[in-house]
Amino acid sequence: MKKMKYVFMAMLSILLWIGCENDGFYYHDEPRVRLVGPDIWTVGTDSLLFSFMPYPTDTLTMTMNVQAWVIGETVDYARMLNLTVDEERSTASKDLYDFPKTVTIPADTNAATFHVILKRAAILQEKEVSLYLKVIPSDDFAVGVEEWDHLLFKWNDILTRPSNWDTAWSPYFGEYSDTKYRFMVSHAKEVIDPETMSWAQLTYYRIHFVNELNAYNAAHPNNPLAEGNKLIEFPN
């Protein structure tokens, strides 16, 4: 029985070794590259979803930091990574984004950071656009695993009710309406985020919006801010 146990363990080890040899995540010949988007947007996936809507109207671009990780050993010379757009999987016109066509991986390192710039335009208020950025072979790198060799960027400028309004926003800003939310965005000095802002910051903005609303209504006595027949109000 003991001899059979050793034979079984030996066979299992061989099978595991063969599995690792065929595993797409394990490279021992050509170095490959994995693209990793910012966690705050991608949440560990290959897709990034972003909206310009909560940002002030003078925010015309958004820079996304992307990391290129080498799957393989480091070398003592710089290496070049090539990037391209998959036109069939993208809907954004070329004037709505910018990125480097080549990225340098410095010598003796296994990673580099580059920037993808998403641009704001009027069309984004009507529809969402996408950019499918992928790795293509270079003299230094082969294409990696399909799940890792690309990033999908989606962005828009469409008004969307925050999913946590009732729990995080309403205690400070009251009942939601599209008109109210758009007014808040246009009069905020920064992006409002109740999940990260302190009580003092949110209280400041509540008072700030009340004052801005009073000023608006005073300037438009015959047309105060409303949505339909309901006047816009903030908690006092």
For residue 96, is it within any domain? yes
CATH number at residue 37: 2.60.40.1740
For residues 12-47, one letter each, b for 16 or more C-beta atoms within 10 angstroms of the residue's C-beta and e for the rest, the string is: eeeeeeeeeeeeeeebeeebbbbbbbbeebbeeebe
Together in a domain, 134 and 220:
no
Q: What percent of the chain has pLDDT over 90?
A: 57
What are residue 130's DSSP bridge partners? Answer: 154
pLDDT in tens, 175-214: 999 999 999 988 998 889 898 999 999 999 999 999 999 9
CB 115 within 8 A of CB 63: yes
Q: Are residues 201 and 124 in the same domain?
A: no
Confirm whether 53 is domain-assigned.
yes
Mean pLDDT score across all residues of the chain: 85
Report DSSP state, residue 45. Answer: S
- The distance in angstroms from the start CA to the end CA of the chain is 81
Q: What is the DSSP letter of 165?
A: I
Q: Measured between alpha carbons, how far is 173 from 190 in angstroms, rounded to an integer?
A: 16
Share of the chain above pLDDT 70, in %: 83
Mean pLDDT is lowest, of 152-161, 197-206, 217-226, for: 152-161
Tell me the three state secondary structure of residue 206.
helix
3-state secondary structure of 8: helix
Whole-number pLDDT of residue 100: 96
Which pLDDT band, with edges at 50, 70 and 90, does 101 fall under?
Answer: very high
Residue numbers of the domain that contains 226:
165-231
Is 146 found in the same domain as 38?
Answer: yes
Cα 202 from Cα 225, distance rounded (Å): 22
pLDDT band at residue 8, thresholds of 50, 70 and 90? Answer: very low
Do residues 204 and 187 touch, judged by C-beta distance below 8 A? no
Quote the pTM value. 0.69
Q: Is residue 95 one of the residues assigned to a domain?
A: yes
Q: Are 135 and 83 in contact (CB under 8 A)?
A: yes
20 in a structural domain: no
Q: How confident is the model at residue 45 (pLDDT cuts 50, 70, 90)?
A: low
**Within a domain: 12:** no
Residues 86 and 175 grouped into a single domain: no
Whether 13 shows a pLDDT value over 50: the answer reads no
